[in-house]
Amino acid sequence: MKNALERGENLSKAKQSFLNAGYTPQEIDAAVQKIPNSNRQPPRPLNQQPTPQTPSNPTTPQQNPQNLSKKTLIIIAAIGAAVIITALILGLFWNKIF
């Protein structure tokens, strides 16, 4: 119920959807009572889409710290693999190179 309301669904439509899914009216009313009033959003018109949040500075792309750490780990792994391969090659061909 909470998710339906957060998506902007009308409370009566959400209730009807749960009734159609097989929930009893008592269960639905109990679920509605557990939702804080601040989360109950007024219904929006069907033809209106929610407005996307725009960043405060659109010229600077915002990076997710998790994605940044993924990129960093990939770079570190690639450098580590290059060092290991170089050491392996030098170890195998040390006498021929020097």
Ordered by start, the domain boundaries in the chain are: 1-46, 64-98
pLDDT of residue 43: 47
Mean pLDDT along residues 82-89: 94
pTM of the model: 0.37
* pLDDT tens-digit map of 37-62: 644 445 455 455 555 665 555 555 55
Higher pLDDT pick, 74 / 97: 74
Higher pLDDT pick, 54 / 98: 98
The b/e string for 52-89 (b: 16+ C-beta within 10 A; e otherwise) is: eeeeeeeeeeeeeeeeeeeeeeeeeeeeeeeeeeeeee
